[in-house]
Structure 1
Amino acid sequence: MAGCCDPRAPRAVPLPVNGRQVGIIGLEQAVMEVISQGISDESRVAEELLRLIKQKNYVPESAAEHYRQALLAYYRQQGQKLNHSQQERSAGRMQIKVLGPGCKKCKAVYEAVQKALANTGVDAEVVKVENPAQIADHGVLMTPGLMINGKLKVSGRVPGQAEIEKWIKESV
């Protein structure tokens, strides 16, 4: 059985579609994928989100437009949360957030961050976010999650120390 931090664990994210709550599997990953593609045209964003969601969810063709609208609204909401988080970070000092309920994998991410900071010599504020509501407010639906300066770097898996060091160096 998949545990709380297992990226293979199926998770349904509630999404209001045409006045009804629908559970969408893989929504967070789809949003992260579209963000990484750098698509700026909202109609293309909605179409790509729908394409990705259809890989793991049934979407009736008669409701496709309602799903596009709901997915785009969710995408905008996540973008606003990421922008707000970026504005909150400390001026001039790196901020790293480890997001998770405090399980074994979350602790492993925290320890890897500490070692990566020691290896790179970078001064950073490291914050543990363990409250489920606060984790969700940061747009993380699969833990553990790792944010550097308000940007979500990983969600749903434990990154390697070398990967974390690379992200820290890129964020300096």
Structure 2
Amino acid sequence: MDKKVYELINDQINAELYSAYLYMSFADYYEEEGLQGYANYYMIQAAEERDHALIFRNYLHDNGEKIKLGAIGQPDKEFTDFMGPLEAAGEHERYITARINAIYAAAAEVKDYRCMKFLDWFIDEQMEEETHADDMITKMRLFGSDAKALYDLDREYASRVYVTPSPLANA
């Protein structure tokens, strides 16, 4: 495996684990504010991000590479309103998309077609993640100031259930 591609993927493992920490901190904020549905949504999001790290880990192992785990940074976000975590999530998902695009570009540069194929799932996943983040922001802007509507949104997010990502389910 190309050294640069390897390093980017290995770094992505830590980025995904940081994402899990970040989303857990969002869940903590919402839990402390009494919005258990939003907390549920972000705890499931944290589990998904952890699973994304495992998918990248498995890919490196499947290609005979060693994993080098680094320290996971502490989330540094403080929130004063319900919109804060949602906007931070949208920003973070765009950042993760850029990182995955950089891995794809590095793989394309060295014609690592297997890696490019592997990353196709993440490209689709990131499009979905960004769409969900944007939808949550839109709904909060439209309905978040109405207590009944916020209650309904919270109940909607409480119904979210965890689903194992297909690359792990098929492993």
Q: Give TM-score, length-normalised by structure 1.
A: 0.29
Q: Give TM-score, length-normalised by structure 2.
A: 0.29
Greater strand proportion = 1
Greater helix proportion = 2
